[in-house]
Structure 1
Amino acid sequence: MRTRLTLAAGLVACALAAGAPALAGDPSHPSGGAGRTPDVPRALHPRTSSGDEPGTVAAPRTSAHPRTTTEHRVSWRVAPGVRYTRWTQTDARGPIVAHLLTVDPSTPGLRIDYASIGAVRRVAPVRDILARDHAVAGVNGDFYDIGHTGAPLGLGKDRQRGLLHAREDGWNNAFFIDRRGHADIGDLPMTATVLHHPRLAVTNLNSPFVTPGGIGIYTPRWGRTAGYGVTQGQHERVREVTVEGGRVVSNRPRLSSDRAIDGFLLIGRGDSADLLRQQLPTGTRVRAQWSLADHPQMAISGNHFLVHDGVIRAVDDTILAPRTAVGVDADTGEVLLLVVDGRTERSRGYTMVELADLMVDLGADEAVNLDGGGSSTMVGRNRRGATAVLNTPSDGFERWVANAVSITYHRPRG
């Protein structure tokens, strides 16, 4: 039996890069044409994300387990091993509309993967991101540096493209498929090194900002350089080392902006900038490597554990918002992708505690919170077999986001 306990834990603040260049005019981001949003600037620069939206304050609960009613339940098979279910649930706080994808990863021909539109910094509607993977269904993914670099705040590993972005520590609560093909949720720290230079402490890979005092690696998969956005506006004691063909070709105290990356960059802050200046003069041979703990096949991070080891970890029961979550049922191995609509009369949204409660009720022993607010989007095949947005995004249209959890299906041969 699952333990329904709530642990008091501090919430991790969402650290957004300050002073970074806006997305408009950044060639690594879409500028219209193929996008479906009626107002591209508004889509790229939404007023708020779920990370900093003040939100609606929920009415106090009248009891620990308020009476609820469930109605208007509909369900259909999206693909072999994938089922979509929608229902309305009402309690003393008001109604919500929930959307659930139940996925059996053991289904032959079925895969769960990380998905993005291309460069780490590039944003797009969830439907376009999933179309790139020829996905049958999926949901939006990680929180991202909204209005600045556009890059995800945490980690992302794609089955085909490998580890695309990550942090040594600080935003590593992730959903992943392990080396044996089993779904799980846990902490996935990154290890990155500059070979033969142990004093160079690499803290970030293609991150929206370099940890103060640390070193970030930026590869061609990042997109075009973002200048002092990746140092949060810091201009003093920063250093950019350009490595091409395995050798340092430049080592300078200024950061480049809007430039394609050939090879990779090392960007240091504070003491690490001084070490880069001292240890990597022009002409030095340099190699770097990076990986995630336990080498999962795919991974994507969220901000907080909702449920961990069967115990509810969420503590906020006051702020209502649209929510997206992913969970794993340890008994069946099923993956649960949940979106709760919000900010409408039909659906008030959920608090974090309510989201965790629902994930437990659905069977999740592990669950992590993904980006919410206007980012919350579920895409899948509808009853007619056409790919469509299945929930009601609170912005009134599909927000442009950094990445997604994708589900693909290819009929096995034979």
Structure 2
Amino acid sequence: MLLRHDKALRIAAVTGKKLLVITLAGTIIWAQPVMGFMIGGGQSYTALAASTTAQAVKVGEQIITSGARLLKYEYNTTHAGVAKKILADVIEVDLKNPNVKLDVMTGKGGQFATRQSVLGMTQETGAVAGVNGDFFNTGLEGAPLGPQVSQGVLMSSPSQLQGMYTFAVTNNGTPVIDEYTFEGSVTAEDGSTFPLAGINKAAYTPEPNGGYSHVDAMYIYTSAWKAIDRPINSSTTPTEVLVQNGVITQISNNASLPMAVPQDGYILRTHGKAADYVRTHLAVGQKITANYQLRSATTQKLVDPSSFQMMIGGHTILVDQGKASAYSRSVSSISPSSYVARTAVGYSKDSRYAYIITVEKNTNSDGMTLTELQDFMTQVGVWKGINLDGGGSTTMVNRPLAETDTVLTFETSNGGTTQRAVSNGLGVFSVAPQGTLKGLIVSGPKQLFIGQQASYSLKGYDTYYNPIDASNIKANFKSSNANMVWTGGGFKAAKAGTATITATSGQASAAMDVKVIGANDIKSLTVGNQTAPLQAGSTISVPVTATLQDGQTISVPNESIQWELIGFQGSSKDGQLTVTSVSPNAKVGYAIARYDGFSTVVVLSAVGENVWEDFENVNYPINFTSNVPEVTGNVSITPGTGDHSNSKVLQLQYDMTAGSGKMYAYAQLNGTNGKTISSPATSMSIDVMGDSSLNWLRAEVLDKDNKTVYIDLAKQVDWTGWKRLTVDLTGYNIGYPAKLKRLYLVNVEEGQDERARTGAVAFDNIKFTVPSEGIDATLPKNTVQMVLGQKSIIVGGKKQSMDVAPTLKNNSTYVPIRYIMDAFNGSAQWNANTKTITVMRGSKLLQITVGQTDFILNGKRQKSEVAPMIIQGRTLVPLRLVSEQLGLDVNWEQKTKTITIHS
């Protein structure tokens, strides 16, 4: 059965989809090459053998709505011989449940070429859950490569790419996984016909013969296509025909029509032979019809797109007949053997359940190989399944029970809550009627820091597990213990531990456990700026971030941090630290941020951040280079744009379309010599104008020992416009003076289809902050000698008495720390309540606790083999632990039992 195109137009008009069009520039055919999608097609590619020992274990379950639930899994396996627990999430949808349905979500306004995050799509469409969908070329408009059917309307036709499978659900709720091809034609008033190549397609390289998708071809573009070109980078100049209500109303010869596609029509975009057909057979005022259908590769039968409730394109088949399948096309572009985030969809043997699957790649999960994904899918009940776009695109959102908004199900591999804007997504929709109140839950944060206040409310859900208004239900709240204190309008976290919050209304009640984070839950505390100028009047931003033992990274609220200021006077408010005055003779200051006994520090010194390069007066050569001869580009000093329009910037333009493999685009400073960074630096900041290419941004430094150091500036350039990047350099072990040789972009081979190969970025205002080594270098030199068992110490050749002698216990030497710190321009504080010693010297803040082998150095928890101890009422610390962490050298003379310490 053929589908008349005017039927599709009427449906599209109801959904309010629109299209804007501008005239295509230029008249030369083959103006530029089309960006290809993937290399390789074919019928069968062998899958690697899946693990036989890995096990998928369900660890959680949440109801989303009637007919849909979120299942949380751990996949226990080994990576490189190390045991791993990979996190995976499955949305199970009951296709026989009349209260739920699947559909495709698109970009903003339901249009192509307006990429949108999955969370944005669900919020716009009202979906209760969703994942990212089809593959798309990130360098083009962002239209899906495969077919898309929504509400029975074929919005996008399948591309001519081999082995690309699709997932669909028929109008009677039956899931289908198959390959489809597109067949269609237009019929002119004179009875002549011309074949249609597709609907709403971006430019691509057809398989298996290659070439250019839009050459000699006729395509339909509907109001679902929003891009200003139809399409960009097609290497063809169009002749376009506007059809409204089945009648030709405009023809633009060798040019695009300068208009948006109206709701009551479509535009035929033609080139070459198709344009010749237009000039020969079509005229304004004549009638024309468009008919098209899909053909199943499995049955070879024609299929009416309107027989599908929805359809979304994917990639290779992964599972068939409940077993791992051979790949249907090359998988080299989707990193088959790498541990990455992945997305897939499939259905059960009885065709009742659809399974929407994501694999997490974040601080809590290592990702999966493609064969591991196949194995996981078979373990959770997938009978037949395909791969969807994965990697950085992998995103799942769901609506928690009784809530009205969707939230991220897990941290994305792009970092925390950062989501990639994608071409489309697979959404879960509730179509249930309004039900009656079924249950109540407590709504509010499940983790708090001590001192943090939060409000909690009672929310309800109906018989279909959809949110229901519970605002008229009055509830009384209480906490199970003193960890949480009711303040009248909410709860305040009082001390570490877990409390159960209970809301009661009449005979009904609901409860939720809340974790109050304590020092033992923290792996590290980090301040946004770890160094600052010791200067009256200076103000710095000091946001504090906690990394928990389970890998979570959370911002610590200002009210939960207690600041201790040493060497200066000042104040902290709303995440800002202000220096009001500097103590006499103070050369270094410490702003110690404490949370529940866990400390980190901002070290202040007379020297702060300095501008290393602003590109206003560059007097050395800057040039473009690459590791691949086919990669071309240009580096230049140009006027800035946006908020940098009043300054000069370094611009890096690149074109990697002709290259292959791992490709670099370098902005090389001062030939092969680089520009000198004379002073040690703890951090580097740089303003970068991004191009949303998703390429990897790095800097290359050569240190004083001729060691090359690669600094990650941004794992992905996922922004457009100017953005300031700040990088902590303390972990790179750079020897100074060093040289910054290159700023560059990397397009890695794995997942290359997700990143743009052409673009431009710019750099400005490179700054370096005075490093801890610079402060330490100003400390005076000294030598100290002690003898085991003797209550004396020789400092700089002068003998002094001590009230406790060094001692040897369990092959470790213990010493009184105060005397050593006095000798080496440091200080030590004793907290009798917590039995904690805080030691400060130069750039270092060391926190050690009696009886504990854990210690904290500049906010990072570390492990030692020995712990401080109390002997005869005196606190002694392990000498080697303290000396190594504070940069002191220790010598031991066995014969005389003499300890010599020098700086």
TMscore range, shorter length? 0.7 to 0.9
Paired position in structure 1 for 2:156: 165
Q: Which amino acid aligns with 1:80?
A: S
Note the C-alpha offset of 1:211. 4.3
Paired position in structure 1 for 2:123: 131
Note the C-alpha offset of 1:359. 1.4
Q: Secondary structure of the residue that 1:75 maps to in structure 2?
A: strand
Paired position in structure 1 for 2:104: 114
Distance 1:146 1:115, change over 3 A: same
Paired position in structure 1 for 2:431: 410
Deviations 1:45-70 (A, max 9, x none): xxxxx979xxxxxxxx9x85353355
Distance 1:336 1:198, change over 3 A: farther
Paired position in structure 2 for 1:178: 170
Q: Secondary structure of the residue that 1:287 maps to in structure 2?
A: strand
Task: Work out whether 1:200 is the aligned partner of 2:190.
Answer: no
Note the C-alpha offset of 1:102. 1.0
Whole-Å separation in 2 of the counterparts to 1:383 and 1:132: 19
Task: Work out whether 1:333 is the aligned partner of 2:323.
Answer: no
Whole-Å separation in 1 of the counterparts to 2:426 and 2:56: 27
Note the C-alpha offset of 1:334. 0.5
Whole-Å separation in 1 of the counterparts to 2:92 and 2:402: 19
1:240·1:251 contact (CA, 8 Å) conserved in 2? yes
Paired position in structure 1 for 2:518: none
Distance 1:272 1:309, change over 3 A: farther
Question: Bigger CA drift: 324-333 or 344-353?
Answer: 344-353
Paired position in structure 2 for 1:265: 267
Q: Secondary structure of the residue that 2:142 maps to in structure 1?
A: coil
Task: Work out whether 1:379 is the aligned partner of 2:400.
Answer: no
Whole-Å separation in 1 of the counterparts to 2:268 and 2:250: 12
Whole-Å separation in 1 of the counterparts to 2:277 and 2:155: 25
Paired position in structure 2 for 1:44: none
Question: Bigger CA drift: 83-92 or 361-370?
Answer: 83-92
Q: Which amino acid aligns with 1:366?
A: K
Whole-Å separation in 2 of the counterparts to 1:319 and 1:278: 54
Paired position in structure 2 for 1:100: 90
Task: Work out whether 1:221 is the aligned partner of 2:252.
Answer: no
Paired position in structure 2 for 1:277: 279
Paired position in structure 2 for 1:324: 343
> How do residues 342-381 of structure 1 correspond to structure 2 at under 5 angstroms?
342=361, 344-381=362-399
Note the C-alpha offset of 1:345. 4.9
Note the C-alpha offset of 1:372. 0.9
Distance 1:85 1:198, change over 3 A: farther
Report the structure, 1 or 2, having the larger strand content. 2
Whole-Å separation in 1 of the counterparts to 2:318 and 2:284: 48
Note the C-alpha offset of 1:332. 5.2
Q: Which runs of 5+ in 1 are unaligned?
A: 1-26, 29-49, 53-60
Deviations 1:96-135 (A, max 9, x none): 2111111111113111111223212221111121122222
Deviations 1:251-284 (A, max 9, x none): 3112357x41132211223332332332223443
2:397·2:407 contact (CA, 8 Å) conserved in 1? yes
Distance 1:332 1:228, change over 3 A: closer
Distance 1:413 1:195, change over 3 A: farther
Paired position in structure 2 for 1:233: 235
Paired position in structure 2 for 1:400: 421
Paired position in structure 1 for 2:248: 247
Whole-Å separation in 1 of the counterparts to 2:192 and 2:240: 18
Deviations 1:277-327 (A, max 9, x none): 322234432222334424312111112211234451337542332111000
Residue number among 51, 71, 78 corresponding to 1:65 in the alignment: 51
Q: Which amino acid aligns with 2:198?
A: N
Task: Work out whether 1:307 is the aligned partner of 2:299.
Answer: no
Note the C-alpha offset of 1:217. 0.4
Paired position in structure 1 for 2:77: 91
Deviations 1:137-188 (A, max 9, x none): 121111123232121111111117x221113643762111113221221123
1:115·1:133 contact (CA, 8 Å) conserved in 2? yes
Whole-Å separation in 2 of the counterparts to 1:167 and 1:228: 16
Whole-Å separation in 2 of the counterparts to 1:174 and 1:64: 23
Size of the alignment, in residue pairs?
354
Whole-Å separation in 2 of the counterparts to 1:373 and 1:103: 24
2:221·2:230 contact (CA, 8 Å) conserved in 1? no
Distance 1:138 1:369, change over 3 A: same
Q: Secondary structure of the residue that 2:102 maps to in structure 1?
A: strand
Deviations 1:375-398 (A, max 9, x none): 111111235645211022111211
Question: Bigger CA drift: 298-307 or 191-200?
Answer: 191-200
Q: Secondary structure of the residue that 1:146 maps to in structure 2?
A: coil
2:88·2:357 contact (CA, 8 Å) conserved in 1? yes
Q: Which amino acid aligns with 1:355?
A: L
Q: Which runs of 5+ in 2 are unaligned?
A: 1-18, 21-36, 40-47, 204-212, 295-302, 436-903
Whole-Å separation in 2 of the counterparts to 1:228 and 1:67: 48
Question: Bigger CA drift: 305-314 or 350-359?
Answer: 305-314
Whole-Å separation in 1 of the counterparts to 2:402 and 2:248: 55
Paired position in structure 2 for 1:147: 139
Q: Secondary structure of the residue that 1:195 maps to in structure 2?
A: strand
Whole-Å separation in 2 of the counterparts to 1:405 and 1:376: 12
Note the C-alpha offset of 1:203. 1.1
1:154·1:301 contact (CA, 8 Å) conserved in 2? yes
Tell me the TM-score normalized by structure 2.
0.37
Question: Bigger CA drift: 308-317 or 199-208?
Answer: 308-317
Distance 1:332 1:205, change over 3 A: closer
Whole-Å separation in 2 of the counterparts to 1:277 and 1:393: 51
Q: Secondary structure of the residue that 2:268 maps to in structure 1?
A: strand
Whole-Å separation in 2 of the counterparts to 1:158 and 1:131: 17
Whole-Å separation in 2 of the counterparts to 1:264 and 1:107: 36
Distance 1:375 1:132, change over 3 A: same
Paired position in structure 1 for 2:794: none
Q: Which amino acid aligns with 2:344?
A: A
Whole-Å separation in 2 of the counterparts to 1:146 and 1:264: 26
Q: Which amino acid aligns with 1:270?
A: G
Q: Which amino acid aligns with 1:216?
A: Y
1:248·1:283 contact (CA, 8 Å) conserved in 2? yes
Q: Secondary structure of the residue that 1:357 maps to in structure 2?
A: helix
Distance 1:338 1:227, change over 3 A: closer
Whole-Å separation in 2 of the counterparts to 1:299 and 1:380: 21
Tell me the TM-score normalized by structure 1.
0.76
Distance 1:281 1:325, change over 3 A: same
Q: Which amino acid aligns with 1:407?
A: V
Which of 1 and 2 has higher RCO (CA within 8 Å, sep 6+)? 1
**Percentage of pairs with the same residue:** 26
